[in-house]
């Protein structure tokens, strides 16, 4: 009798599994079984951002006759107001721009530098007095010059079409009249408020309601930021770097033992650079090199190009194993060579050569690689925003902007309406490391915009925020689209992975990966895959990691339309017209 019941139970269970698999394939009207929604399609313009009202601000600029560059600036200003948990004008910016008229791809590094008046020796003395062995994240030591505003004006001067007064009009309105706080942002805001509300300065008055973060749907106003936007609209970048705002910051820093001075702002410049690229299966994938981690995306793709990922299948144990091992290899180079090009001659050509990729690929076997000692991960939780825009002329912008840790340091100069970033935390203190702290130097950055071209023409503007996850996210999106045939919304909806434990650019120059690290998988992966990965030597955990947030716009030249995608796990929205 027991044997009969066991047989019946097994039979019923197999039917249940079959039914589940069947319905998993048919309960989405279009797209893969994991797809949450369709792509957005528009002909004359598209904006994708992590906050719906910011998306609408950018779209309105396009409708008013502005171009993709104008829309990107407006959307960035709006999302800095509405999502201060990820970005704001106290932070830095990077962007890649396809300019249709010149048929050329441009890139800008709008990251700021460390204080000129703080030497390495003095920094080490201060840290010793504090009992710290690294630059603390929530201290004025971690504040570098905010570069985002200069980035806006550089973009506008080179490519903008509407006046800045018009571009900043809606962000000013929302700052002064208020906006309803969206759900996920509210959660992060409340968490940050608990951490930062006692900071010296005007954080409590600027970013809380009676000491707490705003609830979902609650109207929030930031009139001080609105006034700062007005100063920028009327007086340009000099209001921030050579005028009233710089003077306020200088005075406040001196009163509170900070290290930035008027001279640091006065001497700040963004840098127009040539983006770096590799060809991946016929597509040219572009990143910004230098002091950010975009080079890791290209190194990983070079390594993975040697495998037939399409045949191995999306989400298979073999595919995830290869991707994880490629990440380990690229991130060890990332820890040593991705620094400010004004202070170090990064071996970019060698790092991105197909020959070097082939050498590294030889190190990948059937089991998870092990290495030597690594230090503490300090960059896994970086908060950022990514947005992308496109217009009827064919211009496309891929833009990323950040405070680094959520709302940054939490230090707010009264009357300015923004918090300073803590990017300075990402310097190494090892004097032999290329990323060692020096005055006037740009720290390592995690934020990276992505862009892809096909046959010399613009194809895909994409990116995702998420600290150290970002190169993994870029590689996942590109392989999901090119190797696994997903549309750009499916590519973002698909379950994600991340590997932690790699060496960081803040560590000593002789640090290396210790053990295998941890492979984190988002829910949605089958247990059979988890079991196979563990048998290969991987330490696998479900969740326990931040998997970023994604936006993308793809241009279909044959149809003459834009396809937009946004993050289904957050408050994001893509909208076109």
- Active site residue ranges: 384
Q: How far apart are CA 269 and CA 110, in angstroms?
A: 8
Question: What Cα–Cα distance (Å) separates residue 267 from each residue in 80, 117, 147, 248?
Answer: 24, 13, 11, 17
List phi, psi (to 5°) of 406. Answer: 55, -110
Q: How far apart are CA 35 and CA 45, in angstroms?
A: 24
Residue 212, strand partner residues = 209
Q: In terms of DSSP bridges, do strands 457-465 and 450-454 run parallel, antiparallel, or are they unpaired?
A: antiparallel
Three-class SS state of 445: strand
Q: How far apart are CA 525 and CA 533, in angstroms?
A: 11
Which residue has 């994604």 as its token pair? 550
List phi, psi (to 5°) of 234. Answer: -85, -35
Q: How far apart are CA 545 and CA 556, in angstroms?
A: 34
Which residue has 């719906």 as its token pair? 52
Q: How far apart are CA 465 and CA 549, in angstroms?
A: 5
Give the dihedral of Cα atoms 425, 431, 432, 434; nearest 10 deg: 40
Q: How far apart are CA 574 and CA 464, in angstroms?
A: 14
Question: Rounded to a whole number, what is the largest CA-CA distance in the chain?
Answer: 88
Query: CA angle, 184 as apex, 179 and 189 as ends, to 5°?
Result: 70
* CA proximity to 396, closest of 58, 141, 142: 58
User: How many residues are listed for the chain in this entry?
Assistant: 577
Please say whether the dihedral angle defined by the alpha carbons of residues 482, 486, 487 and 489, taken in this order, is positive or negative.
Answer: negative
Q: How many CB atoms lie within 10 A of CB 277?
A: 18
């Amino acid at each position: 009798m027991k044997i009969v019941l066991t047989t019946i139970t097994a039979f019923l269970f197999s039917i249940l599994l079959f039914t589940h698999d069947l319905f998993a394939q048919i309960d989405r009207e279009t797209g893969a079984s994991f797809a949450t929604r369709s792509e957005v399609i528009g002909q004359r313009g598209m904006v994708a951002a992590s906050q719906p009202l910011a998306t609408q601000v950018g779209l309105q600029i396009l409708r008013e006759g502005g171009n993709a560059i104008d829309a990107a600036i407006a959307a960035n200003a709006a999302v800095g107001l509405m999502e201060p948990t990820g970005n704001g004008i106290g932070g830095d910016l990077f962007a890649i721009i396809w300019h249709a008229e010149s048929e050329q791809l441009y890139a800008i590094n709008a990251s700021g530098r460390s204080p000129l008046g703080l030497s390495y020796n003095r920094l080490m003395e201060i840290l010793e007095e504090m009992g710290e062995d690294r630059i603390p994240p929530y201290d004025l030591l971690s504040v570098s010059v905010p570069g985002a505003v200069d980035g806006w004006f550089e973009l506008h001067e080179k490519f903008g079409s509407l006046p800045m007064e018009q571009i900043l009009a809606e962000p000013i309105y929302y700052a002064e009249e208020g906006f309803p706080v969206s759900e996920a942002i509210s959660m992060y805001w409340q968490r940050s408020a608990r951490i930062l509300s006692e900071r010296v300065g005007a954080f409590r008055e600027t970013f809380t309601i009676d000491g707490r973060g705003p609830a979902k749907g609650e109207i929030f106003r930031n009139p001080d930021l609105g006034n700062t936007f007005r100063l920028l609209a009327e007086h340009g970048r000099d209001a921030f770097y050579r005028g009233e705002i710089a003077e306020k910051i200088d005075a406040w820093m001196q009163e509170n033992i900070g290290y930035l001075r008027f001279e640091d702002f006065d001497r700040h410049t963004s840098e127009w650079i040539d983006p770096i690229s590799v060809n991946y299966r016929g597509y040219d994938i572009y990143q910004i090199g230098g002091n950010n981690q975009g080079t890791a995306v290209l190194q990983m793709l070079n390594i993975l190009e040697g495998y037939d990922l399409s045949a191995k299948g999306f989400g298979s144990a073999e595919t995830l194993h290869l991707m994880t091992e490629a990440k380990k290899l690229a991130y060890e180079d990332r820890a040593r060579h991705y620094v400010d090009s004004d202070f170090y001659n990064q071996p970019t050509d060698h790092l991105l050569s197909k020959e070097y990729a082939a050498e590294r690929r030889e190190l990948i076997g059937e089991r998870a690689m092990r290495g030597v000692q690594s230090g503490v991960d300090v960059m896994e939780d970086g908060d950022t925003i990514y947005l992308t825009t496109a217009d009827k002329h064919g211009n496309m912008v891929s833009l990323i902007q950040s405070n680094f840790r959520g709302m940054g340091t939490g230090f707010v100069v009264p009357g300015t309406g923004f918090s300073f970033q803590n990017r300075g935390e990402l310097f190494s203190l090892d004097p032999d490391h290329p990323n060692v702290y020096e005055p006037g130097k740009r720290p390592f950055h995690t934020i990276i915009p992505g862009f892809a071209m096909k046959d010399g023409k613009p194809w895909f503007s994409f990116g995702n925020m998420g600290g150290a996850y970002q190169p993994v996210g870029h590689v996942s999106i590109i392989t999901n689209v090119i190797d696994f045939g997903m549309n750009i919304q499916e590519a973002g909806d698909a379950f994600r992975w991340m590997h932690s434990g790699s060496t960081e650019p803040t560590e000593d120059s002789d640090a290396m990966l210790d053990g295998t690290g941890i492979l984190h998988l988002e829910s949605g992966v089958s247990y059979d895959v988890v079991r196979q990965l563990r048998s290969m030597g991987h330490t696998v955990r479900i969740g326990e990691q931040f998997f970023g947030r994604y936006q993308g716009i793809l241009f279909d030249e044959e149809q003459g339309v834009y396809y937009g995608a946004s993050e289904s796990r957050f408050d994001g929205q893509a909208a076109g017209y």
